[in-house]
Amino acid sequence: MAHAGAGGGGGGLEIVPHSGDLELDLPPAGNSLRQDSLYRDATRPAHHHAGHHGQESWVRTLRLAFQCVGIMYADLGTSPLYVYANTFKKGVGHPDDVLGVLSIIIYSFVLFTMVKIVFIALYANDEGDGGTFALYSLISRYAKICLIPNQQAEDELVLRYKHHPKPPATLRRAQWMKNLLETSKAAKISLFFLTILATALAISDCMLNPPISVLAAVNGLKLRAPHLTKDAEVWITVGILVVFFSVQRFGTDKIGYTFAPVVTVWLLLISGIGIYNVIKYDIGTLRAFNPKYIVDYFRRTKKKGWVSLGEILLCVTGTEALFADLGYFSIRSIQLSSTFCLLPSVLLTYIGQAAYLRKHMSMDISNAFFNSVPSSLFWPTFILALITAVIGSQAMISCAFATMSHLQALNCFPRVKILRTSRYYSGQMYIPEVNIFLCISACVVTLSFRTTGFIARAHEICVVLVMIITTLLMTIVMLLVWKVNIWWIVIFFIIFMSTESIYTAAVLYKFIHGPYLSLAISAVLMTIMIVWHYVHVKRYKYELEHTVSRDKVKDILERQDLKRVPGFGLIYTELVQGIPPIFPHLIEKIPTIHSVIVFITVKHLAIPHVDVSERFLFRQVEPKELMVFRCVARYGYRDTLEMANGFVKILVEYLQYYIRDINLYGLGEPLRISDYSAHIDSFSKEKPSGHAIYEEEMLTPIQSFSELTMHPVGMSNILLHLQTGKMNVEEMLRIEEDQKIIQSEVNNGVIYILGETEVVAKPHSNLLKKIVVNYVYNFLRKNSRNGEKMLSIPRGQLLKVGITYEI
């Protein structure tokens, strides 16, 4: 008789043979669902990753809320240092102008920071991740907008849609939006363009935010050291920036705990000073909560007041980081800390300054904040302001790191090294190349422009354009994903698009006085992103058009002069469909192949995390006795690639599960999505009597054969599969033998085979394409990290195969 037991590390079968073949003769099975191992692998429920804080405890929420103060709010908390100074550069013309500007600040902060971002946009997160890229990836899960043709049916199973009953009208609108995005190439390109524009602007903002914050704080030193020169101010600022960027390598988690107490004290201090100034100078400043003063301000100042909106907008600088840095924290922690800490502190500070300005209209406005500070508190306030101004850049730096991680996943930027700085929160990371680039850029901007005025105007365009792009993407999310009532969508779009357009027009009016700098930097970054992504798409399509046919693969594998050598070979390729053209090229140059070959594709899905049980999809290449497989390893855009040795260990484990499943249960071609949906409908119904196998009862690759034999239901399902698959002892022995062969070849040595692909434009291509492909792209490729470094492949186990593609 046959006894099933867990094999070595790969879920093998231990068989006690009986005389002759053993074929089980059981009652008819009924309508058993014939499921593929890829299907079960793709539909295995994933555990919530640490990066997604949906079910966090209140202890963790409070801890994250405390860290939020240190990472996110210093930038918003230091904006009072320079908002009034830049808005009233030429002095205050009328006492009520201060009330008008204050009223605009109050309602802009509440509308853009609190309502739009904290209480609406944060819910448009991609399983705990926020920012423009998260919105783009969320949309791509509901509509096929990716420009790279590497989508697979199995991917739709792992993306885990959340279906809720919706009225027919909202479903029709969602379907209309889906069809528009999927059928219009212009819509796809426009959506991609907006996403990388917002990304480029965010990175540009990171170059400008540190200089303006630190310069504004250092400028306060003039009140106690009037002989301090502008050169001294600039070099002090540069020194502080260098120190700030040098501590980034210690990680956001440690920085958050270090900075949070400082920023908390700062927010309490400035709110206290604000209350003091309101009581001492003009409690009537509280009238600014009446929006009538906004109308009066524009009526009185006309064009001058409209132009000043750009400087007033600086009060919400750093707001975009609240959304983009959501992956570091959680919705509840941000809402809690912003409502009860950030909002009252910042508004009290602006109100207090306004009260002081109304009584001191003739003073030097460039130091409005420090002039409003009581003399006895000057030095504590100055020191805290300086430290907090440095910390204020932390949110933007964290945003830059998260953004670059997303760019890597979408193949939109040359490869860089990404280091995870927290074992608990995968969103916390450090990228050395980006950190050095931002440090140098911030220092150059400081040395070049020297004052906050020009840098502030360059900073404004980044803030307002990112706000507009977020509004556009949020509107699509509401239509396609949330499927909310159309009137809520209309209200959201009209309110935010109209107000943000007014701010944008005011900023662009001063184009040559600052905004051009940000747009120029963003244009350079976008050029790099577009070139890299364009060539990547072209290269993928070239490989797709030149995939090796099944017959040719069979001919290659059965060649008489082809030698099989001991070992386990991993051939890396971008393709998720078919065998890449590098394979026949390799055999032509070196007519030798390892005993076990796996064509491996590392693919990033449009979700932050993919559970390891859902990671691998396998297919075996015919003829089966040659032990050649295709594998797609799927990761989320926040997942970390394992070291090469660890990756092979996991891959081999799941490959052995696949061999067991494909033979033991007679699994073949992958289940179609339409079939899957029909099965899901049937699972929700009451289980009928008989021998039907339901999805939740199916074996998963992570479970061993012996685990299920311990349970009556599990054993009956196994026997049912044995009967359906006509299993006999020889076949079971062959499964174990195949698994032993794979493990033996892994023990003989693993070789990693990478294509050293040179991409060139076709001879008849136009001049622009030749410049882009032959020079710009190849320059970027040669100066980025190599594939083996990204995959942490040991040099002694690496084999590179040179090949040229003409695109």
**pLDDT top residue among 118 and 731:** 118
The pLDDT tens digits of the residues spanning 32-62 come to 333 333 333 333 333 333 334 444 578 888 8
**pLDDT top residue among 419 and 631:** 631
pLDDT score of 349: 95
- pLDDT class of 228 with cuts at 50, 70, 90: confident
Q: How far apart are CA 410 and CA 46, in angstroms?
A: 23
Which residues are CB-contacts of 148 (< 8 A; sequence separation ≥ 6)? 411, 536, 537, 540
Pairing of strands 750-760, 798-806: parallel
pLDDT score of 149: 66
pLDDT score of 805: 87
Least confident of 406-410, 538-542, 570-574, 586-590: 406-410
**pLDDT top residue among 64 and 258:** 64
Q: How far apart are CA 280 and CA 584, in angstroms?
A: 83
pLDDT at 697 over 90: no
User: Which one, of 444, 468, 440, lies nearest residue 455 by Cα?
Assistant: 444
pLDDT score of 706: 36
pLDDT score of 281: 93
- pLDDT class of 24 with cuts at 50, 70, 90: very low
> What's at 728, amino acid-wise?
N
Helix, strand, coil: what percent of the chain each, to 5?
65, 10, 30
User: Which one, of 765, 756, 759, lies nearest residue 788 by Cα?
Assistant: 756
Per mean pLDDT, which of 14-23, 171-180, 316-325, 726-735 is the most reliable? Answer: 171-180
Mean pLDDT, the chain, as a whole number? 78
pLDDT at 685 over 80: no
The pLDDT tens digits of the residues spanning 650-668 come to 999 999 888 887 776 654 4
- pLDDT class of 265 with cuts at 50, 70, 90: very high
Q: DSSP string spanning 381-413?
A: HHHHHHHHHHHHTHHHHHHHHHHHHHHHHTT-S
pLDDT score of 425: 55
pLDDT score of 193: 92
pLDDT at 278 over 90: yes
Q: Please, are residues 410 and 422 in contact by the beta-carbon 8 Å criterion?
A: no
The pLDDT tens digits of the residues spanning 84-141 come to 988 888 888 888 899 999 999 999 999 999 999 999 998 888 777 778 888 888 888 8
pLDDT score of 351: 95
pLDDT at 76 over 60: yes
pLDDT score of 471: 95
Q: How far apart are CA 513 and CA 451, in angstroms?
A: 13
The pLDDT tens digits of the residues spanning 458-508 come to 888 998 999 999 999 999 999 998 888 899 999 999 999 999 999 999 999
The pLDDT tens digits of the residues spanning 531-572 come to 999 998 888 888 888 888 888 888 888 887 888 899 999 998
Q: How far apart are CA 99 and CA 10, in angstroms?
A: 73
pTM: 0.78
pLDDT score of 679: 37
Average pLDDT of the residues in 419-431: 66
- pLDDT class of 327 with cuts at 50, 70, 90: low
Average pLDDT of the residues in 286-293: 94
